[in-house]
Amino acid sequence: MRNEGEFGDAACAASAIDWWTAAGVDVLVDEAPRDWLAPSTARVAAPASATLSTPAAAHDKALPTDLAGFQAWLLASPDVPLAGPPALRVGPAGNPAGGLAVVTDMAEPEDRAADQLLSGAVGRLVDRILAALGRDRASAYLLPLVPGRPPNGRIDAASLPRLAEIARTHIALAAPRMVVAFGDAASCALAGDDLSASRGTVHSLDLGSGTVPLVTTFHPRFLLQHPAAKAHAWRDLQPIVDMTR
């Protein structure tokens, strides 16, 4: 067996060419001459996050400036990401004058048939949560990021900035004194961070004309699947209990 230093230059070159050929490299130069030492002039594409951080650039029309008009726009406009056709959408529910806004990610599978946001088993748990806060649907305003349900039941990252813009406008028009965000998507949209990082803190939600306190907690959908998390959710909601007293 030869040592590494016993191979001559010709043998090394032949070995390298054999390796390149096996790898599919069959030409060493371009058709046209190239100055390999010239500075690169290639353009660097803008990061995806830069595009997503300015979603309003793709939406020329201003959002409605009154709550009734906004609610109607939410149910009919093609400018609401992931909402689907108007016939399949479910609007906000409850009383905007109640002082508490509850933000969910999207309509539940049963909501369209029930013609009510947060219906079915999820809705029953929401009703119990509201009751524990000394509220009910007549004294809270329930609103979705998406007034429909995406086919895969998920909100993609590309749609979230626009949905966050829409939700903040919606909340500002409802003018609550406090806001609860259910689940990770609502947390990302309103608190600017995922649920694992945003829970346990009272956030200040900037609505342009002022700020309101915001707390985040698990979505009732998650609590139905993981009942042990209900105690953690109740701790998350304690600031709302204190503000309600």
Assigned domain for 109 exists: yes
Is residue 68 domain-resident? yes
List the structure tokens of 77. Answer: 């406009």
Radius of gyration of the chain (CA): 27
Please state whether the predicted TM-score (pTM) of the whole model is above 0.85: no
User: Is there a domain that residue 16 lies in?
Assistant: no
Percent of the chain, pLDDT > 70?
75
Does residue 158 lie in a domain region? yes
Instruction: Give the sheet arrangement for strand 178-182, strand by strand.
Output: 93-94, 141-146, 100-106, 178-182, 211-217, 203-206
Q: Is 58 contained in some domain?
A: no
pLDDT in tens, 85-117: 999 999 999 999 999 999 999 999 999 999 999
Q: Compute the 3-state secondary structure of the chain and give helix, strand, coil in percent, each to the nearest 5.
A: 45, 15, 40
Residue 88 placed within a domain: yes
Q: How far apart are the first and last CA of the chain?
A: 87
Q: Which CATH number characterizes residue 230's domain?
A: 3.40.470.10
Question: How does residue 24 score in pLDDT terms, banded at 50, 70 and 90?
Answer: low
Tell me if 171 is assigned to some domain: yes
Per-residue pLDDT reduced to its tens digit, 180-236? 999 999 999 999 999 999 999 999 999 988 999 999 999 999 999 999 999 999 999
Q: How many domains does the chain have?
A: 1
Q: Residue 125 belongs to what domain range? A: 63-244
Contact 93, 116 (CB under 8 A): yes
Interior CA angle at 167 toward 237 and 236, to 5°? 10
Quick check: is 71 in a domain? Answer: yes
